[in-house]
């Protein structure tokens, strides 16, 4: 049974890029006679607002999308995320990190052997300052990516399947994971978890078979597959779609409210127009 999902964070209004993900996933679920879920990714407390959740439901309904109830809210699932991080810690793959953004920026601005500091899906690649230090339980928890990948050597299938714009069977790129993702945060100090852990735990919990999202998430997908292998969770099929850009070629951000679904609707756009704008057949 195909299970597709759309997993927005209620930190702003849905825009064309979201409509693209949601409609693609919904259409695919319909075509497969499958199920379609909406998951509200509200772990980032202060940035998430109930009025944005209401706006998401309203916009999805206007788009003609139907989803199953009850909707899963990630803010209710902290215990499951804690258990996942604990398991990785028991495997000896994590360390506590007390670095602030400023500490990381300072460490990275020191002269580098390997040239310019790299940026990954979560921003600057962590220089590893706290790795091997005795940490404080209050601090953030990071995954030791090198160690994590070493434990996967030989014993696990490191491939996953993509459909859509870059279809094929992909093999995890360990060098890219180390150099372009690095020791990612598993549990932020302020919220006790992270996007990567929450999404992987919930996709498995909800038995999601297909994950549809923008191609800007492609390197995060590699991280997610690593976490799935470490935690013995199934890997869904991934579909990354091209990004919808505004007239100036910039990626749409949530703050770009001119292209919010409801702004377009107010300007007289129909659902057909939205589908045409993201090149989906009506």
89-107 b/e (C-beta count within 10 Å ≥ 16 → b): beeebbbbbebeeeebeeb
Determine the Cα–Cα distance for residues 37 and 69; give it in Å rounded to an integer.
8
- Note whether 7 binds ligand GLU by CB under 6 A: yes
Instruction: Give whichever of 213 and 275 is closer to ligand GLU, judged by the CB atom.
Output: 213
- Note whether 25 binds ligand GLU by CB under 6 A: no
- Smallest distance from ligand GLU to CB 18, Å: 8
Residues within window 197-226 making contact with ligand GLU, judged by CB under 6 A: 199, 213
Determine the Cα–Cα distance for residues 202 and 55; give it in Å rounded to an integer.
23
Structure tokens at 12: 């702003």
Q: Residues 133, 137, 138, 143: is their CA dihedral positive or negative?
A: positive
3-class SS of residue 69: coil
What residues contact 134, with CB distance under 8 A and at least 6 apart? none
Instruction: Give whichever of 95 and 160 is closer to ligand GLU, judged by the CB atom.
Output: 160
- Note whether 53 binds ligand GLU by CB under 6 A: no
x/- letters, 68..107, toward ligand GLU (CB under 6 A): ----------------------------------------
Q: Which one of the spans 5-13, 135-143, 172-180, 244-252 is the region binding ligand GLU (CB under 6 A)? A: 5-13
C-alpha distance across the termini of the chain, in Å: 25
What number of chain residues touch ligand GLU (CB under 6 A)?
6
CA 143 to mean position of chain CA atoms: 16
Identify the residue among 19, 25, 36, 41 touching ligand GLU (CB under 6 A): 41
Instruction: Give whichever of 8 and 127 is closer to ligand GLU, judged by the CB atom.
Output: 8
The site for ligand GLU (CB under 6 A) is made up of 7-9, 41, 199, 213
């Amino acid at each position: 049974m195909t299970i597709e999902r759309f997993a927005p964070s209620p930190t702003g209004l849905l825009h064309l890029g979201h409509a693209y993900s949601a409609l693609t996933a919904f259409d695919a679920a319909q075509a497969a006679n499958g199920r379609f879920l909406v998951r509200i990714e509200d772990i980032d407390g202060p940035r998430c607002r109930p009025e944005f959740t209401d706006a998401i439901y309203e916009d999805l309904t206007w788009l003609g999308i139907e989803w199953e109830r009850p909707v899963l809210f990630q803010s209710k699932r902290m215990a499951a995320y804690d258990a996942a991080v604990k398991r990785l810690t028991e495997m000896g793959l994590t360390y506590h990190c007390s670095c602030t953004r400023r500490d990381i920026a300072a460490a990275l601005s020191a002269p580098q052997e390997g040239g310019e500091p790299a940026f990954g899906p979560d921003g600057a690649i962590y220089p590893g300052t706290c790795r091997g230090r005795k940490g404080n339980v209050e601090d953030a928890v990071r995954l030791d990516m090198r160690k994590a990948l070493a434990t996967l050597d030989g014993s696990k299938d490191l491939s996953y399947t993509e459909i859509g714009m870059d279809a094929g069977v992909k093999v995890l790129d360990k060098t890219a994971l180390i150099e372009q993702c690095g020791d990612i945060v598993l549990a932020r100090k302020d919220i006790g978890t992270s996007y990567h852990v929450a999404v992987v735990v919930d996709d498995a919990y909800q038995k999601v078979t297909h994950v549809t999202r923008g191609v800007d998430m492609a390197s995060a997908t590699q991280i997610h597959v690593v976490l799935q292998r470490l935690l013995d969770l199934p890997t869904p099929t991934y579909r990354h779609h091209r990004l919808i850009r505004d007239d100036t070629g910039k990626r749409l951000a949530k703050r770009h409210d001119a292209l919010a679904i409801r702004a377009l609707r107010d300007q007289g756009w129909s659902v057909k127009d939205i589908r045409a704008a993201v090149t989906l057949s009506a």
